[in-house]
Amino acid sequence: MNLFAEMFLDAPAAPITIWAVLMVLSLPALLMLASPQAIRDPQRAALETFGFLRRYRQERERRQDEATTAVRYAGEVAVAADRAALAAQRWQECWRQADERADEAWQRWLEADEQLARARTASAFRPAWSPRTPSEYAHRENFLHRTVGAAVARGDLPVGALADGGFDARLHPVEQELAVQRAVVVYRWELHRRARAAEGAAWHDAQLAVATRDSLRREVREAAARAAALHRHLPRHDGRAAAAPGPVWATQAV
C-alpha cells in the first residue's frame, strides 16, 4: 500500500489522479446517500447509475457525430456554391456572346434588305432586250455562278445554294442578281431567327445557373450557422476543439 501511495504522490499529476480515484470510489456511496431507494436496493441503484452514464455517453457521441456531419456538409456545400458561381459566370458569358451574334445577324439582315432595294431599283433600268445566243446563255450562266459563289463566300448564302436549283441561268444578269439578293435576304433572316433562338436558350440557361448559385449560397449560410451552433460538440483532439467552420464569403453581402 505504501508503494502504491508513493507512485501516486511522486507522479506529476498526483493530486488530479487521487481526486479522480476518490470520486470513482465514492460515487456509489454518494448516490445511495442521496436516494432512499438506493439505500434499500443498492444493486438496482448501481445499475441505474451506470445506465445513466451509458446513455450520457451515447448522447454525447450522437451530438459529436451530428456536429461532425454538420461541419462536413457546410464545407461540401461551400465548395458546390463556389463551383456554381463559376458556372453562372460562364453561362452569363455564353449568353452575352449569343446576344452579340443575334445583334450581328439582325444587322446583316438589314444590310441585305437594303441591298435588295437597290437591286430592285437597278432592275428597272436593265436593257429591254438582248440577243439570245449560245454565247449569251453561257455568259448568263457564268454570271450566275460568280454571283452565287461570291454570296456563298461572304456567308450570305449556304454552301450548295447553286446546286439546290433555285436559280434560273436563262434570266438576264440583272434579274439573276435580283433573284440572288432575294435569296440572301431570306437566308439572312433565317440566320437571325436561329441566332435569336440560341440567345433565348442561352438566357434561360444563364438564369437557371444564377438561381442555382443563389440557392447554394443561401444553403451555405444556413449550413455554416448550423455547424457553428454545433461546434461545441465536436470531438476534441489534444485538448483543443476543431476549427470553427464557415466560408469567408458566407457572411458577406451577395
pLDDT, tens digit (0-9, with 9 covering 90-100), for 51-69? 556 666 777 777 888 888 8
The structural domains of the chain, with segments of one domain joined by +, span 43-251
For the stretch 133-187, pLDDT in tens is 788 888 888 988 999 999 999 999 998 887 776 788 888 888 888 999 999 999 9
Distance CA(119)–CA(181), nearest Å, equals 7
pLDDT of residue 237: 58
* Alpha carbons 245 and 67: distance in angstroms, whole number: 11
Count of other CB atoms within 10 angstroms of residue 72: 13
SS3 240: strand
- Between CA 101 and CA 192 the distance in angstroms is 9
Residue 254 confidence (pLDDT) above 70? no
d(CA 45, CA 174): 113
Quickly count: other Cβ atoms within 10 Å of residue 217's Cβ: 21
**The whole model's pTM is what?**
0.63
